A and B are shown apart, each in its own frame.
Chain A
Amino acid sequence: MPEVKNRQAVTGAQAVANAMRQINPDVVAAYPITPQTPIVEYFAQYVADGLADTEMIPVESEHSAMSAVVGAAASGARAMTATAANGLALMHEIVYIAASLRLPIVMPVANRALSGPINIHCDHSDAMAERDSGWIQLWAENAQEAYDFTLMAIKIGEHEDVRLPVMVNLDGFIISHGVEVVDFIDDEAAKKFVGKPIVKYPLLDLNNPVTYGPLDLYDYYFEHKRQQIEAMKHVKHVFKQVAKEFEKISGRKYDIIEKYKTDDAEYIMIALGSTAGTIKYTVDLLREEGHKVGLVKPWVFRPFPKEELQEILNGRKAVIVLDRAASFGAEAPLYEAVKSALYEAAVRPQIGSYVYGLGGRDIKVEDIRKAFEDAFEGNLIADEERYLGLRE
C-alpha cells in the first residue's frame, strides 16, 4: 500500500474540485446550480489563486456550459464542466451531441431531484434522465470515490477504444456538502496518471480541416449510432485497465461493481451512490444477527453491468433493488435493469423493488432492515413497487 501523502477532511465538492485542479484541464465552463455550485466555486478559486491555469468560461447557462465544452473538446482541449438536476436537464440536448461527436468530456454531477415541484436535494432522477444519452456513468458512494472517479474518468473517456464523455455521479448534499476524510494522491502522481490529453481530429488543425456535426441522414446515421454502441462495449475492459493503474498509485481497488460480503450471501441488496454506505452498515448489523446478507453496488451504471450482475446474483435466495428515482408508469430504473438481467439467470432469485429517498428524504438503517426482512420472510413480489421512508 503506497504511503498516504495527503489526507484531509473535505466536502465531496472540494474533493472533486481538487481532482480538477490536479487534472488542470485546458478549459472549464462554470455555471452554478445547487448542489453542484461549490465544485465550480472551489475550482474557480484554484484558478484565481494560480493553482490551476485552466481557461475558465463563466457561461450564462448550463446549456451554454455544455455547448462551450463541446466546442472546446472538439478543438482538441481537455474540457470539463459540472452540473446537477435542472442544469443537467437544460443541457440535455447537448449532452446527446457531446456523446455523438465522441468527445471525452468529463462532468461531475451532484445528483439532485429533477423537479417539480422545486426541490434541491438528492435523488437520482437527473442522471437517470440521461442514462440513454451515450455517456458513461460512474457512481460514487462517498467523497473518496468521487475524487478517484474524476481522475479515472479522464483516462477512460479519452481511451482510443472509447472516446466517450463521462459523468461522475455524486449524491447532492450528502456527498457534495458532507465532510469526509479523503486521501488525495499527490499532485505529481495524479498528473502523471491522467497524462497528456489524447486528442483525435482536432478542429483547430488547419492542415487537416474537419467538419464536426454534419447533417447525418438515414443513409449514415444508423451506422454512426452503431459505432457509439460499440464504443460503449469497450468501456468495461478500459475501466478495469484504468482501475488497475489507479490501484498502483492509490492502493484503492475498483471494479465495474463493488461486492460487499456477498461470498456466502443469500440475500443481496443493490443500490447506487451514498446509500450503499448505510447498507454496508446495516449488512454488518444483520450479519451479527446471523443473516447471510450482502450488498452489490454498481460503480459503473452505463454501460450496465449486466454480465457481472448475472454472475453474482444467479442462485441467490433474494435480490432487493433500491432506487432513488421513479419511472412513472414503469418500474424504477435500476430495478428494471436488474430484473431484465435476471431473466437469463439459470436460477432466478426472488426479487423486490424499493423506491426511497426522493427529493432528499433520509434513508435509515431501519428502512433498509425492513426491506431485508421482507426478503427473509419470502415476502418479495417481483411486480410490486414498495417505498421506504414514505408516509402513506
Chain B
Amino acid sequence: MALNIMQLATLFADKNPGITQGHRLCPGCAAPNVVKFALMIAKAKGFEPVVGLATGCLEVSTTIYPYSAWNVPYIHNAFENVAATISGVETAYRALARRGRLVDPDKKYAFFAFGGDGGTYDIGLQSLSGAIERGHKFIYIVYDNEGYMNTGNQRSGSTPPGSQTTTAPVGKKLSGKVQIKKNIVEIMAGHENVYVATVSTSEPMDFFKKIEKALEFDGPSFIAAFSPCVRFWRVGDDKAVDISKLAIETGYWPLYEVERGVYRITKRLKELKPVRQFIEAQGRFKPLLKKADADDIVNEIQEYVTSRWERLLALEEATKDKPIR
C-alpha cells in the first residue's frame, strides 16, 4: 500500500528520519534529501534502517568526530567497499538472528548502503557487483553528482562530456572529458534477481514508491538518485530541484525501473526538451559553451539521450511480463 504525502507529513512531524540536523553538507546539496527520503519511507513502513556509507561528501560532512548526524546504526569503512561492508552487516544480522543473539529480534531491519558516483560507478563497482551477485538483502543508493566532489570536482565515470572538472578540464586544446557518462543502471540491471531504479528528489512520490518497492523486493536493490552538487555545478543554492526537473524533462535522467529484467518507465514524457536547456542552466558547462566545438559535444549528448530514451521505450515493450527469473 503506497504511502501518501499526508501520511508521511503526519508521521514525521514528530519522528526523525535517521539523519538529523547538524551535518555540514553544503547549503542546497541534494544528497541529504536522498538519504532522508529513503530512511523516512523505511521507518514509515516499520523498518529499522541500518546504514553503511562509502567515503565521500555525505560521509565526511555527517560524522565529524565527536559529532554524528546519524541516530540510526551507522558504519563507514572505506571508499570502495560499502557494499561489501553492508553485506557483512547483513550476514551478521542473519547469523545473530538465527543464533538468538540479536538485541532486538522482533524488529524489522532494513540495510542501506549509500555512496557517491565515485564510490559506485568507479572504485566501488567490484564490491557492489559482488554483493548484488551474492544476493544480500540490501538497498544500495548512489547519490549521483557526476564527479568526485568531495575532493574538489574531479572527473568520475559518471561525469558527462564537456562538464568542467579539475582532472579533465576544458582548456584551449581539450574540451574536458571525452567519454559519455557510464550507464550504471544498465550495469546493475544486468545482474540476476535485482531491483534497479532511477530517482530524483524533484519527483518525491516516484522516489517513495521505488523505495517501498525496494524494501519489499526479495533480494538486493540498486537505486540511482540524481543529486546535483550546487557547488561544482555552479548553480544557485536553491536550484537542485529545478536542475533535476530539467534533467528529467530533457530525458537526461529518465525515471524508470528494472525489476528482474522487466523495464518500466515511471515518468513518461510526450516529448523531450532539448538537452541544451539542461546544459545551459549550469555554470559547469560554461567553459565548454565558449568553445568552437561546443555544439559537437552538446549534439553528442543529445544524440545519446534521444537514442537511450527510444531504447528504453523499446525495452519496456520488449520485456513486458518477461522477468529473467
Residues of chain B within 8 A (CB-CB) of A204 are 50, 73, 89, 92-93, 96, 102-104, 109
- The yes or no answer to B279 lying at the interface (CB within 8 A) is no
- The yes or no answer to B282 lying at the interface (CB within 8 A) is no
- The yes or no answer to A191 lying at the interface (CB within 8 A) is no
Stretch at the interface among A121-129, A213-221, A231-239: A213-221
- The yes or no answer to B206 lying at the interface (CB within 8 A) is no
- The yes or no answer to A132 lying at the interface (CB within 8 A) is no
* C-alpha gap A358/B76 in the complex (Å): 38
B123-165 contacts to A, CB under 8 A, are: 126-127, 129-131, 133-134
Q: Are B48 and A211 in contact (CB under 8 A)?
A: no
Q: Are B92 and A27 in contact (CB under 8 A)?
A: yes
Least Cβ–Cβ distance between A54 and chain B, in angstroms: 7
Give the size category of A's interface with B: 35 or more
Chain A, residues 293-327, CB within 8 Å of chain B (1/0): the string is 00000000000000000000000000000000000
Q: B52: nearest residue on chain A (CB-CB)?
A: A71
Least Cβ–Cβ distance between B97 and chain A, in angstroms: 9
Q: Which of B50, B63, B78 touches A94 (beta carbons < 8 Å)?
A: B78
Chain A, residues 180-218, CB within 8 Å of chain B (1/0): the string is 000000000000000001000011111101111111110
Q: A61-B127, A203-B89 are in contact. Are A67 and B81 (CB under 8 A)?
A: yes
- The yes or no answer to A70 lying at the interface (CB within 8 A) is yes
- The yes or no answer to A68 lying at the interface (CB within 8 A) is yes
* C-alpha gap A70/B75 in the complex (Å): 10
- The yes or no answer to B221 lying at the interface (CB within 8 A) is no
Q: B79: nearest residue on chain A (CB-CB)?
A: A93
Q: Are A68 and B85 in contact (CB under 8 A)?
A: yes
Q: Are B75 and A57 in contact (CB under 8 A)?
A: no
Residues of chain B within 8 A (CB-CB) of A58 are 134
Q: A224: nearest residue on chain B (CB-CB)?
A: B65
- The yes or no answer to A59 lying at the interface (CB within 8 A) is yes
Q: B24: nearest residue on chain A (CB-CB)?
A: A215
Residues of chain B within 8 A (CB-CB) of A67 are 77-78, 81, 84-85, 88, 127
Least Cβ–Cβ distance between B190 and chain A, in angstroms: 15
Q: Are A203 and B75 in contact (CB under 8 A)?
A: yes
Q: Are B91 and A68 in contact (CB under 8 A)?
A: yes
Q: Are B134 and A57 in contact (CB under 8 A)?
A: yes
Residues of chain A within 8 A (CB-CB) of B93 are 75, 204
Least Cβ–Cβ distance between A224 and chain B, in angstroms: 8
Q: B75: nearest residue on chain A (CB-CB)?
A: A212
Count chain A CB atoms within 10 A of each CB in B74, B85, B86, B99 and give the residue with the most.
Answer: B85
Q: A212: nearest residue on chain B (CB-CB)?
A: B75
Least Cβ–Cβ distance between B137 and chain A, in angstroms: 13
Least Cβ–Cβ distance between B151 and chain A, in angstroms: 14
Q: Which of B50, B88, B101 touches A27 (beta carbons < 8 Å)?
A: B88
Q: Are B77 and A213 in contact (CB under 8 A)?
A: yes
Residues of chain B within 8 A (CB-CB) of A203 are 50, 73-75, 89
- The yes or no answer to A292 lying at the interface (CB within 8 A) is no
- The yes or no answer to A60 lying at the interface (CB within 8 A) is yes
Q: B67: nearest residue on chain A (CB-CB)?
A: A214
Residues of chain B within 8 A (CB-CB) of A72 are 88-89, 91-92, 95
Secondary structure dominating the interface of B: mixed
Residues of chain A within 8 A (CB-CB) of B78 are 67, 93-94, 97
Residues of chain B within 8 A (CB-CB) of A61 are 126-127, 130
* C-alpha gap A123/B234 in the complex (Å): 54
Q: Are B95 and A54 in contact (CB under 8 A)?
A: yes
* C-alpha gap A27/B134 in the complex (Å): 15
Q: A70: nearest residue on chain B (CB-CB)?
A: B77
Q: A61: nearest residue on chain B (CB-CB)?
A: B126
Q: A70-B88, A71-B77, A216-B65 are in contact. Are A76 and B96 (CB under 8 A)?
A: yes
* C-alpha gap A68/B52 in the complex (Å): 12
- The yes or no answer to A64 lying at the interface (CB within 8 A) is yes
* C-alpha gap A89/B101 in the complex (Å): 33
Q: Which of B59, B75, B92 touches A26 (beta carbons < 8 Å)?
A: B92
Residues of chain A within 8 A (CB-CB) of B126 are 60-61, 63-64
Q: Which of A73, A79, A209, A213 touches B76 (beta carbons < 8 Å)?
A: A213
Residues of chain B within 8 A (CB-CB) of A205 are 73, 103-104
- The yes or no answer to A151 lying at the interface (CB within 8 A) is no
Residues of chain B within 8 A (CB-CB) of A214 are 63-65, 68, 76
- The yes or no answer to B320 lying at the interface (CB within 8 A) is no
* C-alpha gap A85/B236 in the complex (Å): 50
- The yes or no answer to A55 lying at the interface (CB within 8 A) is yes
Q: Are B65 and A57 in contact (CB under 8 A)?
A: no
Least Cβ–Cβ distance between B110 and chain A, in angstroms: 11
Q: A206-B48, A207-B103 are in contact. Are A71 and B73 (CB under 8 A)?
A: no
Q: A79-B88, A203-B89 are in contact. Are A71 and B75 (CB under 8 A)?
A: yes
Q: Which of B92, B98, B127, B133 touches A79 (beta carbons < 8 Å)?
A: B92
Least Cβ–Cβ distance between A150 and chain B, in angstroms: 19
A residues neighboring B (CB under 8 Å): 26-27, 29, 53-55, 57-61, 63-65, 67-77, 79, 93-94, 97, 197, 202-207, 209-217, 220
- Listed A/B pairs (17) with beta-carbon separation below 8 Å: A55-B91, A57-B91, A60-B130, A64-B81, A67-B88, A71-B91, A73-B88, A73-B92, A77-B95, A203-B74, A203-B89, A206-B104, A211-B74, A212-B74, A214-B63, A215-B65, A220-B65
B residues neighboring A (CB under 8 Å): 48, 50, 52, 59-60, 63-66, 68, 70-78, 80-81, 84-89, 91-96, 98-99, 101-104, 107, 109, 126-127, 129-131, 133-134
* Given A54-B95, A67-B78, A71-B87, 8 other A-B residues pairs in contact with their CB atoms under 8 A: A64-B131, A74-B88, A75-B88, A204-B50, A209-B72, A211-B68, A215-B59, A215-B60
Closest 5 CB pairs of A and B: A71-B88, A60-B130, A68-B88, A75-B92, A214-B63
